Structure 1
Amino acid sequence: MSAFDVRDILKSAAAQADAATAEPSRAAPAAVPPAENLVPPRRGPVLSPVVLVGSVRLIEAFLVAAVGFGMHLWLLHGLVPFKPVYAVAILVLAGLNLAVAQATGTYGIRAFRAFFSVGLRIVLGWSLVILLSATILFFAKLGDHYSRLWLAGYYLAGLVVLLAERLILSLVISGQMRRGRFDRRTAIVGGGPPAETLIKALEAQSDSGIRIVGIFDDRGDTRSAGVVAGYPKLGTVSDLVAYARNTGLDLIVFTLPISAEARILQMLAKLWVLPIDIRLSAHATKLRLRPRSYSYLGSVPVLDVFDKPIADWDVVVKGLFDRVVGGLLLLLFAPVMLVVALAVKLTSRGPVLFRQKRYGFNNELIEVYKFRSMYADQGDAAASRLVTRGDPRVTPVGRFIRKTSLDELPQLLNVVKGDLSLVGPRPHAVQAKAANTLYDQVVDGYFARHRVKPGVTGWAQINGWRGETDTSEKIQRRVEHDLYYIENWSVFLDIQILAMTPFALFKTENAY
């Protein structure tokens, strides 16, 4: 969720428009090398430190528990039966080890890389866990319930396994960091001394994970230097939108003072459509808030302006939900899809599937599958002309499957492939129009709906905004519902939308 209301930002920015256009035009920034020459391309997707740390916790808890079960099987098999008291002890030891490891600071990217210093804390922590457990067993007079051989073997084997796991982890993480897989590619907005101060503070932290790509500033060269702290000025804020989409940017940090409200709002009105984090630097400001009011880039304080709508574990959860539920729905509807495919094939010439380029996440073009509903020689892949009631281009079978949304079922293949989510803003064709005007020209901030992966169904569709968009009001309302979904996303909202979708399909007055 954003710290600001999007609509307020747009209104405030619009109120500044007249004043902005009255200013003399500023000089264009000096030409700079292409972005790919300044920053090497990232190999593979960026890895989330939050997900990594959580995964390591789960792995270590599993390893500690597995060692406990394994040592009982190896040392006591046929001698001492495996009783519930052993299972309870193993789970308690695994939980205690997690708590001690967390308290000793062994979870974090920096800790994962430093094997020798952290390894000592691992030894001390696991020793403390076993010692504490043995002490509790002694004073509670429960020692007779457990084998001393098992406890000693558990300690030694657990130590070896934990150290081996951390050694492997340090080698893997170090290699991935050299490849930039944990880097947060960061653009600085605003130049001058504030930007230079911020950059130096970030660079002083070798393990912050921040990779600065350059400076963006709306001021001309006479007021803003072409190079700040060794980083080139790559363009204006308008250039930053295209740059962020094309080069995999993760973070934008404003170095403008909070008092420059008008400038900040005008810039945010351009940048909020991007699926990235936006922060306002508090490093050099005189305003002092409570420490909890800030988030931090390493130790550098910043104020949160916009967050990625879906990040870290949410990405994992939504991805698993899409793949698992999407795969099950694909199996469930396979007989129906077979019948529809036969009906399309037998009643008109041409392919069964219709492939169309549409906007996906971050404005990337994806190929979406549908059952063909038009005559093959009259298909409109660019959607330059809306389908209307009684449209002669639509086949008789096509009219039925469009009205019932059966033509959308092949998009479950897109879900399994990862191009689409089950739930999200519906993907629109590149040339889709409302009242003969392209969608992005009708709705301010239209591309903000692409901050998440598009979906087969969505909040707008179950609220009646599906089908023909022959007026600007219809697409406006659809986008408003899409933005509501993005700003309020949860797995439970996805489940609610999926559950309501079959009922929404009965409302066919706008589906042609």
Structure 2
Amino acid sequence: MDKKSLHLMQSFLTCLDILSLNVIFCIACYHFEQQLVKGLFFYYALFMFYLNISWLCTALITGQYSEKNIPFSERLARRSFHTYVYFLLMGFAYLFFSHQAYISRLFTTVVLIGFTMALFFNRFLYALICGYYKRTGDGAEKIVIVGYNEVSKKLATHLENDPVSKHIVGFCESPGNVKELSHYPILGNVTDVVTVCRKYGVTEIYSTIPPRQNPEIIRLINDADFNCIRFKVIPDLNHFIPRFGHIDYLDDDLPVISLRHEPLEDAGSRIKKRIFDIIFSSAVTLLVLSWLFPLIAILIKLSSKGPVFFIQKRAGRNNKVFNVFKFRTLKHESEAQDFRQVSKNDNRVFKVGRFLRKTNLDELPQFLNVLAGQMSVCGPRPHPLPLNDTYKMVVDKFMVRHFLKPGITGWAQVNGLRGETENKWKMTKRIEADLWYLENWSFWLDIKIIFLTIFNMIRGEKNAF
């Protein structure tokens, strides 16, 4: 599905859910005005605002409206259920911790039940709309694929997952080049493409045959322009590039293909991320670390002899080495030994240190690294140098993660890929998550990672030890 359609569906569903929540809340206020709400509008308005923020935050954390879930009704329904469960927990937490005696429990029950029914109706309506477009193809761009080869079959499979906005009419290829039954009809030769398009009302042509292989493609491009039909070329780059990268241009006429799309290569994105790092780290330092640092330092001193901080050299952006700060969690004499990852029930970890590691509080001093510009709040976790030396020779693309500043938390960590990496498979999965973050970074992804990190700290993680 194209970006425009995805964003439209994201906006539609988001607005529909928020509108439903607020309409149900207002109807309940109107119905209970005399018995429950009269004279207490401020408290109910505050609760209404909280519910709106809670729904948006939980939807962001679960990825309910993400591009991966929006096009698929079943996946969206599962995510909606998870979001609603978290939403209920946040609603109950507000009533419990705020001690709001003014908010009626009956009123709250009516709103939550009403919102449940509204969500069911919204998903049902969404499924009906998607089903209608899948059956009729109304509103979908009709497509003809030029060429029948591995690239065209892969393209057809991809477009089949987008029946709402794309509808494949068939292939155009010389009969002698088709050696098997095709899933879609062969509508004619390559030379017949424009005629076929006019016959079936096709608005887009995808060519998997490069112009150098068949000079007829050049004529087809001109004919398509003349007949107001979009012509797109799908290059086969698999012979020298394992996956499609990012195309840029020098002087508007010299294409340059990067092996991967890196949003943070854009100077504006890097500035935006750096500003957020400074604001967020400054807030944490002033509001939390100013009083928590001395408390943790005292606990460490009382529990184990040695310094409060543990300083270790790690590799940062562009593989530059820097000193990373942590609260010390190992017995001081153990740190002088050769590097060894901390494992479950490791006897080198003292009691307070185990608590700090379990809650990630040992990482708090790294906000100082962020303020110094050596790290970011979100990014690939920096590894000790011996760990880098061990795995960079055996894990493919291992060093690509160093294109970014390392982070206090990251996409790998919030997906459970943290802790000891005692084998190649675990490290490979972590690297895959780091590379996904590198290629898909956005400001909102960083916000999501921060929320998930806080949620995991409260819930507890089995790999934190």
- State TM-score, norm by structure 2: 0.45
- State TM-score, norm by structure 1: 0.41
Between 1 and 2, higher relative CO (CA 8 Å, sep ≥ 6) is seen in 1
